[in-house]
Amino acid sequence: MTASCGPRRAPRRRPFSSWSHFVGNLLVTLALWLPASTDACDKIPRYASMKAKGNPVPPVSAGFAVEYECRLGYRLIVPLVRPTTTVCQPDGTWAPPLREACTRKSCPQLAEPLNGRIEGTFQFGAQANYSCNVGYHLVGTPVLRCELAGDGNNVAWSGDPPQCEKILCQPPQQIENGTFSNSHKDTFEYNEVVTYSCKPSGGPDEYSLVGKSKLICSGPNKWSSDPPECKVVRCDYPSLRDGELVSGFRKKYYYKAEVEFKCNQGYSLEGSGKIVCEANSTWVPEIPRCVKGVKSSVSSSPGRPTPDETLVILLNYAFIGLFLYVP
């Protein structure tokens, strides 16, 4: 007896195994793709003298290389021994780490001015300060800056160098009723002095020189002060009722005449004891007065005993000391 079997059925595929295979392949693909596309460096290194070529925008992936060039106003250090290219690493660092490979450009060497000097350096961004020797003044700009020129690839000074010229003064102003020394000269040198004086008045009262008699050439066409005046300055006779002059006796009192007063016995002085005849023909301060009565020469202040009170206090202490003394 022969047994017969029907056709064999193919084993039934489970949907789960197909899905697992797909997911596994996807994970492998992602694992291979992620390291190449993940942004490893979120910042581009910055340097004072260098800038990145092409202006790359972070973040960048591992393996991304950045090449640097000098900024405007800078040049490569010669001989060049430092790298200028760095690469982003998977851990977010850059290798090799770079150091500044550029240095500032220099402007042309400046010569010191005749009768002057320069302070400063000649590199890009620096400045040169000019000054002159005593007796000379600067003509031109006192400060020059080393700055970018043209298209920015070169550097140059911001202007022309100044010069130091000798300080000279034109003759000072002539004054009415007066003159000054060396008035025939056309120019006066630095620190040269002229002296003013008044001419004879031809009248009963002589002219007084009001102001500074000596002027100094202190700068280019600059005198140390305004010129003085020559005019009649005469003050009235300084009479003091119930008092008298102590010093300054004369018939006429002209500019800057000084007198001193004192009061008669039994009177005290109210005001200043010394007065001066000033430019407007008045006494300064005004003439004092003599007031009847003698002011006390001792002035007591609040809380401070007078001499009489002090004597009483001392006697009291002496009495107490004798009373307490036991031989």
Q: Are 39-104 and 234-292 the same fold in CATH?
A: yes
The Cα–Cα gap between 65 and 33 comes to 20
Q: SS3 of 1, please?
A: coil
Weakest mean pLDDT among 27-31, 142-146, 233-237, 299-303:
27-31
Find the mean pLDDT for residues 36-49.
84
pLDDT at 35: 46
Q: What confidence tens digit (pLDDT) does each residue in 71-117 have? A: 999 999 988 788 999 999 999 999 999 999 999 999 999 999 999 99
Q: What confidence tens digit (pLDDT) does each residue in 277-291 have? A: 999 999 999 999 999
* pLDDT confidence tier of residue 6, bands split at 50, 70 and 90: very low
What CATH number belongs to 168-231?
2.10.70.10
pLDDT at 313: 52
* pLDDT confidence tier of residue 305, bands split at 50, 70 and 90: low
The Cα–Cα gap between 127 and 307 comes to 73
Mean pLDDT, all residues of the chain: 84
* pLDDT confidence tier of residue 153, bands split at 50, 70 and 90: confident
CA dihedral 52, 57, 59, 64 (to 10 degrees): -50
Weakest mean pLDDT among 18-27, 240-249, 312-321:
18-27
pTM over the 0.85 mark: no
Residue 52, pLDDT above cutoff 70: yes
Residue 244, token pair as written in the block = 């008298």
Q: What confidence tens digit (pLDDT) does each residue in 197-234 have? A: 999 999 999 999 999 999 999 999 999 999 999 999 99
What CATH number belongs to 116-166?
2.10.70.10
Weakest mean pLDDT among 16-20, 47-51, 130-134, 308-312:
16-20
Residue 32, pLDDT above cutoff 60: no
pLDDT at 245: 94
Contacting residues for 61 by C-beta, under 8 A, at least 6 apart? 36, 37, 38, 39, 40, 41, 88
DSSP 192: -
For the domain made up of 234-292, give the CATH fold: Complement Module; domain 1 (2.10.70)
Q: List the helix and strand counts (H, then E) for the chain.
A: 2, 30
Residue 299, pLDDT above cutoff 50: no
State the architecture of 39-104 in CATH terms: Ribbon (2.10)
Asked whether the beta carbons of 71 and 51 are under 8 A apart, the reply is yes
Domain locations in the chain as residue ranges: 39-104, 116-166, 168-231, 234-292
User: Sign (positive/negative) of CA torsion 181, 183, 189, 194?
Assistant: positive
The Cα–Cα gap between 268 and 271 comes to 10
* pLDDT confidence tier of residue 45, bands split at 50, 70 and 90: very high
